[in-house]
Structure 1
Amino acid sequence: MEMESNIILKNQKLGAFDILRKALGITTTNINFFLFTIFASLPLFCFLVYNQPFLQEFQDQVLEILKHPAFVYYFEEDTFKWSLQYDATPGYDVTPEWNKRFPGELIQQALLYLVPLHLLELITALAIAVLASKIYKEERPMTLKEMVNNQPFDKITLKAFLITAVYVLVLSTCSDILGSVWSAASYSFVFRYFNREIFLSLWCCIASLAMLTTYLAWNVIWNMSIVISLLEGIHGIKAFGLVTYLSTGNGWGGFLLMFIFFAWEVTLRLPCLYFGCKGRGNGMFVAQSILLCFGNVFELVVFVIYFHDCKNRVSEKLLMIKANKAGDQSCV
């Protein structure tokens, strides 16, 4: 009984901000790990520096199209549908931009988001996750020689990681598509039955919050499943099931952590949207890319610690159940 109490005392529960504090300590105070993460994040950093100007230009174009007075909504009473049409007002000829440039840039950004960005993030996770787990469990810094010579992957672990990565990529893509379809269906419903702007605004807010909440909750599962594949060698549906089992009772902590990283990324992109950063040589893109890479590494370390915390909570529950059963038997 005393042994179980000591284990429970050692594996104290961590709150979301405790996890952030521990992850910050591992990432910033361990100089060797910090240098290793810089080296591992170089491919992702180069891609972000290359892609950020194109992404900014695309976002600016979307904003201009959405607020352009040349585009107006018309309600077709016969079919009960709303359609976006071009108002041929002098001075607002943006149709060529809409027809020629926008679709191609949309496809380009989608392909860059699906393949290189996700692939480079996964490569970074493959290089860092196991090292972060060892540093956290052993509670000691590692030398650069130990990190470079470390060979944590066998065929089973690598296979599990690749399978889970494919699952995550497919599910994240499907969620984006389903989210867009659901948004369009929701807006069509409001346009059809509530021909008032206030209802549309209210429904847009509700739909956006619902999609954001669902998306963040799914991201917790996806990030945890990647960590589990690397640390436990479990892949696919089994990894997702283990995430659900381990995070039961601690789901709010994972959601809060995911929301913090979502807010971090949005905050980093707001200055360029507001000030309109232009040009490939703009220093704002370099600074933004550095902070995004740091956020990517920090998020990975956070979810490694979150995984261990969830695992410790489950172990604590099992020990408590075992201790209670032993106590009941001794009483009999």
Structure 2
Amino acid sequence: MELKSVMELQKRASILILSNNKLALFLFLCSLPLFCFLIFFELSLQTTISLAYQFPYHNLNFGGYLRIPDYNNYPENDLIPWLIQTSLLYFFPYTLFDLFTTTMIVAASSIVYSSEGKPLDMLYLVQRSARICKIRLVGCLITSLCVLLLSTPVFFGFFFDSVNYFYIATLISFQYYQAELLFYVVVTLIHGSIFLVLTAKFIKWSAGWNIGFVVSVLEEEEDGKGIYGTNALYLSYWYGRGHEKRDLWMMLMFWVFAIVMRMPCLYYKCSESSNGYGALFTGLYVALICVGNVVKWVACVVSYHACRTRVSEKKDDEDQKLRLLLHTR
């Protein structure tokens, strides 16, 4: 039932994009800066993950009996600079590019959705979206920083859990190969459980974070001021009540999609390719990720409007029941 609801939401988002050529073109142009930056960022990320994967071999003493040529090409001190570079790229340029792109996608999608099929001029769409972005940019930045603070520990948890598990697994496999299998199974279960818990929490929270960002772009108080930060996240939780499982499945689909798109380049080490094909393949999967990102945010806009309408109708029904109760008394 929940999967059916998710697919229906994705269908409505896809129809909204494909049924309006001007919206599709506008979203494409808005995503270009993020697309260009992500190619460079993903190549840096691939190198960092590759070095982190190879790092345990530099810290294990195999007594000269085991030599792995592919891993001896990288000095031990290469990992830290790449880790710092990738982290800085994520915290500063990526956050700004993503903030601008997401704000424009949400604003333009909401304008087209609220028009209820009426034809819109391209210039009008651009001007309205830019105006919303200008007014809400500070509030969206505050919400984005709140989300960044909440999500960063989870990302570091993913990274260090994976590296620590691989280090211990390598240590057991090559240096203490006579260790009992039970110890290896226990280590795998512990780290696997940590990874699954982090994944479940991240996906669950990300649904509320995304709707909270949509609230920061589109919602305003009675005095005309925007709603942002923790207030936007709280309001997103209020809107999402009753649809937690649907939102969880939707975020899980996009999360798995992003992971699957990255796996081939990580496996074949596209960042180490010297013939240019690595950057080409990276650009291809980055393009697919950008398309998925657009669909995700349009789906969040559709979900926001549906939830907001449902909450308003519920509030009107409660007010009407209260008035009838007072009238009978």
Normalising by structure 2, we get a TM-score of 0.80
- Matching of residue 104 in structure 1 with residue 97 in structure 2: no
CA distance in 2, matches of 1:177, 1:55: 14
- C-alpha displacement of 1:22: 1.0
- Match 1:87 to one of 41, 62, 73: 62
Give the match's secondary structure for 1:89. Answer: coil
- C-alpha displacement of 1:211: 0.5
**CA offsets, 1:190-223, max 9 Å, x none?**
x9xx971222222222211111010111211221
The answer for the alignment partner of 1:33 in structure 2 is 23
**Structure 1 segment 1-332 matched on structure 2, within 5 A:** 15-65=5-55, 70=57, 85-89=60-64, 91-92=67-68, 94=71, 97-140=74-117, 141-150=119-128, 151-153=130-132, 157-177=136-156, 196-232=183-219, 233-277=226-270, 278-279=273-274, 281-282=276-277, 283-326=280-323, 328=325
Distance 1:259 1:126, change over 3 A: same
Distance 1:322 1:154, change over 3 A: same
The answer to whether the 8 Å contact 1:15/1:253 transfers is yes
The answer to whether the 8 Å contact 1:53/1:280 transfers is no
Distance 1:88 1:144, change over 3 A: farther
CA RMSD of aligned residues (A): 3.1
Identity in percent: 27
- C-alpha displacement of 1:309: 1.8
Farther-moved stretch of structure 1 (222-231 vs 317-326): 317-326
Farther-moved stretch of structure 1 (155-164 vs 104-113): 155-164
CA distance in 1, matches of 2:81, 2:236: 38
Give the match's secondary structure for 2:132. Answer: coil
CA distance in 2, matches of 1:87, 1:222: 46
The answer to whether the 8 Å contact 1:16/1:256 transfers is yes
**CA offsets, 1:27-52, max 9 Å, x none?**
22311111111111111111122233
CA distance in 2, matches of 1:96, 1:154: 47
Farther-moved stretch of structure 1 (277-286 vs 229-238): 277-286
CA distance in 2, matches of 1:46, 1:320: 49
The answer to whether the 8 Å contact 1:28/1:34 transfers is yes
**CA offsets, 1:139-177, max 9 Å, x none?**
225332222222533875333122212222222223334
CA distance in 2, matches of 1:204, 1:152: 47
Distance 1:154 1:107, change over 3 A: closer
Q: Which amino acid aligns with 1:23?
A: A
- C-alpha displacement of 1:20: 0.6
CA distance in 2, matches of 1:184, 1:101: 15
- C-alpha displacement of 1:227: 0.9
CA distance in 2, matches of 1:99, 1:38: 41
Give the match's secondary structure for 1:15. Answer: helix
CA distance in 2, matches of 1:183, 1:169: 21
Normalising by structure 1, we get a TM-score of 0.79
Distance 1:221 1:315, change over 3 A: same
The answer for the alignment partner of 1:79 in structure 2 is none
Distance 1:119 1:279, change over 3 A: farther
CA distance in 1, matches of 2:283, 2:162: 34
- C-alpha displacement of 1:87: 2.8
- C-alpha displacement of 1:95: 6.9
CA distance in 2, matches of 1:202, 1:129: 40
Give the match's secondary structure for 1:97. Answer: coil
Unaligned runs of 5+ in 2: 167-171, 173-180, 220-225
CA distance in 2, matches of 1:18, 1:330: 41
- C-alpha displacement of 1:265: 0.5
Unaligned runs of 5+ in 1: 1-13, 72-83
Q: Which amino acid aligns with 1:27?
A: I
CA distance in 1, matches of 2:161, 2:51: 24
The answer to whether the 8 Å contact 2:17/2:24 transfers is yes
CA distance in 2, matches of 1:154, 1:95: 50
- C-alpha displacement of 1:178: 5.5
